[in-house]
Amino acid sequence: MATMTANAEIMLEERKGVLAVPEGAIVYKKDRSTEVEVPDPALESGKRRVAVVTGISNGAKMQIVKGLSEGQQVILQ
């Protein structure tokens, strides 16, 4: 008897034309707020944290609703 398997992806929500960053750029704080690190050559560490409001995620990328602008660089953790 042959065994058959299948993989399925169920999309609950889709948004197009949104600002998104790799999941690895998101810093989750204890109070459940989120931040990302951006390059800042003016600081000794060369980076600073910016508070962001996140939206939906596909497991690889996270939507940024507020806190970043298109074209801004982020640092992966």
Rg of the Cα trace of the chain?
A: 17
pTM given for the model: 0.77
Q: Domain of 50?
A: 20-66
Looking at the domain assignment, is residue 57 inside a domain? yes
Q: Do residues 28 and 37 lie in contact, with contact meaning Cβ atoms separated by under 8 Å? A: no
Looking at the domain assignment, is residue 12 inside a domain? no
Looking at the domain assignment, is residue 56 inside a domain? yes
Looking at the domain assignment, is residue 47 inside a domain? yes
Looking at the domain assignment, is residue 6 inside a domain? no
pLDDT tens for residues 58-71? 889 999 999 999 99
- The count of domains in the chain is 1
Class of residue 38 by CB neighbours under 10 A (exposed 0-12, middle 13-18, buried 19+): middle
Looking at the domain assignment, is residue 27 inside a domain? yes
Question: Torsion angle of alpha carbons 38, 52, 64, 46, nearest 10°?
Answer: 0
Q: What is the mean pLDDT of each run of 10 residues along the chain (77 residues)?
A: 82 82 96 96 96 93 95 93
